Structure 1
C-alpha cells in the first residue's frame, strides 16, 4: 500500500505575490510575517508581501529576527513578542529558517498553552494558524512539507512533523533567488539534491514520490552547474526553484535519511551550511542502498555519474575540527535517530565513525 497527501496549494511564477493578493484576503484580516533581517529585504520578497497586504487592507506585523538555524529560545522570544496580537494567519518569507520558524510560531500562537518542546509530541495539538510560505531560496522545500527543524536547548538540530503545518499556500517566485551568492546557491542546491536522492532511496518511497524525485534529480544535474557559473541565468534559477519544490514534495512523503542526521552537528556546532553538511554524506547513502535497491542506485548513477564527483564539481570540500568527545556523541545520536528506519543499508557505529573521520581535519 502507498498513499499520497500534499495539501499545499502551489502557485509558481514571476510576480506571483502580486498576482495572488486577492487569495491572501481569504485567510483573514491580520497577518504575522516571519522573516530574517536582511535577505528578504534585499531580494524584494518582503516588500512584495507587504505591498500586497497594504493594497488589500490587511493589517500585518513583521517579525524579522529569525536567524539561520533557529533555536528553541528564538521561537520562545518570537511567540512572547507576538502572542498578545490576534493574528489570523502567518506568512513565512525567506529560506528554510524563516519558513520552519513560521510553522512553529503558527502552532504555538494557535495553542498558547503549549511550549516549544510540545511541538515534538503530535498528540498534544491538532491545529495551527494557516501558514503561507514565500520561499526565497531553492533548496529546503519547506514550502511544501509538514516538517520544521529547530535547534534545541542542548544545541542539537531536531525536526518535528505534523500534518497541520503543511503550508496552506506556497507562492514561489524564482526571481527572489537571483540575489543568492555562490555559497548559498551551492548549499541550497545540494540540499534539494539530497532531498531528491534520499527520498528516492528511502524505504518510504512511493510510485508518486519516485516520479518527482527523478525529475528533480535531472533538473538539478542540468541546472545547478549553470546557476553556479551564471548566477543571473533566470531559466536555470527557475528550474532549480521547480526542482527544490519537487524534492520537497518527495520528502513530504518519504522523510529524509541518515545523511541529514549526520550533517546536523556540522551545521549546529561547526557553522557548515545545512545543504553542504548533508551532501558530505550523500555518497554513503547511495552506496548503502546498493544491496537493497540496485536498480535505483543504477539510475542515480546514470543521472549523476559518481554522486561524490558531482558534489565536488559544485565546489564542496569540508574539513572541520572534531574532538574525540564530539565524535562519540555524534555517533551515538546518529545510531539512535528515527531516520535510520528509512535508510537502506547497514550503518554501524564503526561506519558512521569512518564517515565523520572523512570530514575531520587532521
Structure 2
C-alpha cells in the first residue's frame, strides 16, 4: 500500500525534518480579519479552513503558520497534508492510484511526513479535509458502505458514521477490521470514549490473532493503536490502563516516542519526576529535532530540580521552533529563579511578543515579573 511503499523514506525524512519550516522558505503570513490575534494558531487554522476549497495554496500557507505557532497541535499538520493534494486534482488521483514515480517525488515524501507527525501528535485528529478531497472527485467516487460512512464522518455526523462502520465490521470482522479504527474515530467525535476504547481493543485483538504488525498503513500499526488506546484510557480517568497501553506501544515499536512522552507526562502528574525525566530523555533522543519534545523535557527537568539542564532544553526548543510561545515563558521563569534578571526579562518579553491573547493568565504573570524585575534594578 502507498504508505508502506515509501515508509523507509518517510522515516528518514521525518527524523530529519520534524519542523517543516526549517526545510523550506517560510510562506508569507496570510492576511487576517481586523482584530484577529496574529499569535493564535486557531485564527490561522480557521482562515485556512475558509480558503481550502477555492484557494488551497493560500490555505496551505495558513495551516503552515498555525502549525508553527503551536506545534503541539495535530490539526494544522493534517490540514497542510490535505492542502497539498487539494492544489491539483492530478496529484490526489496519483496518490490514490499509488503511482510509483509520483510517490518517489521529494515533495510528496515530505508531505507524507506531515500526516505521520499529525498522527503522532493526536491519532484522533479529525480527517474532514481528507473527506473533502474524496468529495471533490464527484461522480468518479465509488460509493459503497465505507464511502458513505466516511462522508458522514467528514460532515460531522459521527453517530451515523459509527453505525455505518459498525455494519461493515459485523459483515466481516476480520477482513473489515480496519473499519474498527474508523468507528473509534467516529465515537471520539461523538464523545463516546468508552465505545471508542472497545473498538480499538477489538482491533488490537484481531491484529494479534492475525499476527499482523499493521493492516496496511503506518497509522494502522499496533504501536500507534496502543498509543491511541492509552490516550482514551487517560481521558477516561484510567491512568493505570493508559500506562499499560503506552508500554505495549513501546514493546511494539521502540521508536514510538509519543508513547514515551505520554508516560513522561503521566509520571509528572504522579509526582515521579525521575521517571518523567527518564521517559522524556528517551523521547528527545528518538526525536532530536522535535521542539515539543524538548519543551516537555524541560518541564520534566524543572520538576526534577535540574534547572540548568531545563534551561538548555527550553533553549533547544526555541532554536527548533522560534514561533512557539510557551518555551519562552518557561525559560523566563527558570532564569528568574536562577537569579539572572536580564536573561529572564529578555525571555519574558519574547514570550509576550508571541503569546496568543487567550493565554491571559500567563501574559499577566509575565507582565508582573517584568515590572518586578524593573523595579528591583
Q: Could you state the TM-score of these two structures normalised by the residue count of structure 2? A: 0.31
Q: Which has the larger share of strand?
A: 1
Structure of higher CA gyration radius: 2
